[in-house]
Amino acid sequence: MLRRTVAAVVGSKPLAAVGQAFPPARALAAQFVAGDTLGEALPVVKSLVADGFLVTMDVLGEAVETAAAAEKNSTEYLDLLQWLAAERLTDAVEVSLKLSAVGQALPDGDGLSGEHARLICAAAHGIGSAVTLDMEDHTTTDLTLGTWRSLLPDYPRTAAVLQARLFRTPDDLNELAVDGRRIRLCKGAYTEPAEIAHRRSRDVDKAYVRGLKQLFAADAYPMIATHDSRLIEIAQELAARAGREPGSYEFQFLYGVAAKDQERLRDAGERVRLYLPYGTEWYRYFSRRLIERPANLGLMLRALGRRRP
Ligand SMILES: Cc1cc2nc3c(=O)[nH]c(=O)nc-3n(C[C@H](O)[C@H](O)[C@H](O)COP(=O)(O)OP(=O)(O)OC[C@H]3O[C@@H](n4cnc5c(N)ncnc54)[C@H](O)[C@@H]3O)c2cc1C
């Protein structure tokens, strides 16, 4: 209930417009975002890699409304990949891509976003890096999985994301977790209708555990994307029971969240990858961080309050 209320508030257009233009909101978002530009993100990604983390970088900007904006984002990804190659970071750094950032939501945008995704996957493949196709709300699941399937024969290290929140995910895992495929399992950041998704957090958590069991029992490379320390513990138990060595699966965290757990797992010899976004279009990404943790919204509202004399 609280989650849905917060989602309604922070997802509203008026607050989005205020938030995006409001310096204290930007300052709060900075804990989750590496900077406005690649140049600003550079020292951040280098220091994470030097500290022993793997990284997946995201160019912020989603649900673009024109083909030109899709093209611009696609070019930014290609520039980013060139830069990763020039900096010799491709062993440790990959990219995450939202298909809506490269046109999926445009009329007939599936073909356009698929073409951009193919270019980006080809560039990543060429330099020894890889792409994860982020998962957006349920209206895009089939399209995104369709694009993933079409990329896998040429770019088998391309990863997809499944959301434990959705009722369909056990079936998707049954079908898709094969052939060593890389699959990120997350709870799901979008507020979905009750007909198709778990609403109560304990149901989402139980579904997440079932998803972990499926992933570890399958011939797949699990990418465990959660900050929930109980679920992380369960994942470690399942990995041990399945006889998985560290390196045959990985943990993933959002940059700026649960730093102590990131370090603890890294120090225990686990592979830990941090999701590191950069760019000027940070509000939508930030609003999902507010929805996940309403305490973050309190910080923002207090900052808004302090703005008045
Ligand atoms: C690497 C990565 C990639 C992701 N990719 C996708 C994707 O492609 N599609 C998608 O729908 N979702 C994605 N998500 C988001 C995910 O679905 C959840 O919305 C998000 O991770 C919060 O759920 P949780 O598993 O951390 O558990 P929660 O129960 O939400 O949180 C567990 C604990 O983590 C901490 N925490 C969680 N969120 C925050 C926050 N915002 N700020 C501060 N502390 C926090 C709190 O201590 C909280 O008690 C991704 C998450 C990660 C880590």
Note whether 184 and 207 are same-domain residues: yes
Under a CB-based contact definition with an 8 Å cutoff, are residues 200 and 208 in contact? no
pLDDT over 70 for what percent of the chain?
Answer: 91
- In 219-293, which ranges are continuous DSSP H helix? 229-241, 259-267, 283-292
Note whether 96 and 208 are same-domain residues: yes
Note whether 107 and 244 are same-domain residues: yes
Note whether 245 and 303 are same-domain residues: no
263-283: pLDDT as tens digits? 999 999 999 999 999 999 998
pTM for the model: 0.94
169 lines ligand 1 (CB under 6 A): no
Note whether 82 and 149 are same-domain residues: yes
Note whether 57 and 190 are same-domain residues: yes
What amino acid occupies position 145? L
Closest Cα partner for 31 from 309, 307, 299?
A: 299
Is the pLDDT at 306 greater than 80? The verdict is: no
The per-residue pLDDT for 287 is 87
239-263: pLDDT as tens digits? 999 999 989 999 999 999 999 999 9
Under a CB-based contact definition with an 8 Å cutoff, are residues 226 and 187 in contact? yes
Under a CB-based contact definition with an 8 Å cutoff, are residues 30 and 287 in contact? no
Is the pLDDT at 37 greater than 50? The verdict is: yes
Under a CB-based contact definition with an 8 Å cutoff, are residues 263 and 244 in contact? no
Note whether 173 and 234 are same-domain residues: yes
Compute the residue count for the chain: 309
Section 64-73 average pLDDT: 96
Distance in Å, CA 154 to ligand 1 centroid: 30
Structure tokens at 258: 């649960």
The per-residue pLDDT for 187 is 98
Distance in Å, CA 281 to ligand 1 centroid: 19
Under a CB-based contact definition with an 8 Å cutoff, are residues 251 and 231 in contact? no
The per-residue pLDDT for 142 is 98
Note whether 276 and 246 are same-domain residues: yes
Under a CB-based contact definition with an 8 Å cutoff, are residues 130 and 92 in contact? no
Note whether 46 and 19 are same-domain residues: no
Note whether 59 and 16 are same-domain residues: no
161 lines ligand 1 (CB under 6 A): yes
Angle, alpha carbons 183-189-192 (nearest 5°): 110
Catalytic residue among 134, 157, 172, 289: 134
Rounded Cα–Cα distance for residues 256 and 292 (Å):
14
- Helix-, strand-, coil-residue percentages of the chain, each rounded to 5: 55, 15, 35
* Consecutive H or E run containing 135: none
Structure tokens at 86: 């020039």
Q: What is the CATH number of the domain that holds 184?
A: 3.20.20.220
> Is 219 marked active-site?
no
**How many domains does the chain contain in total?**
2
The per-residue pLDDT for 18 is 66
Catalytic residue among 181, 184, 273, 289: 184
Note whether 16 and 46 are same-domain residues: no
Domain containing residue 204: 37-281
Note whether 183 and 246 are same-domain residues: yes
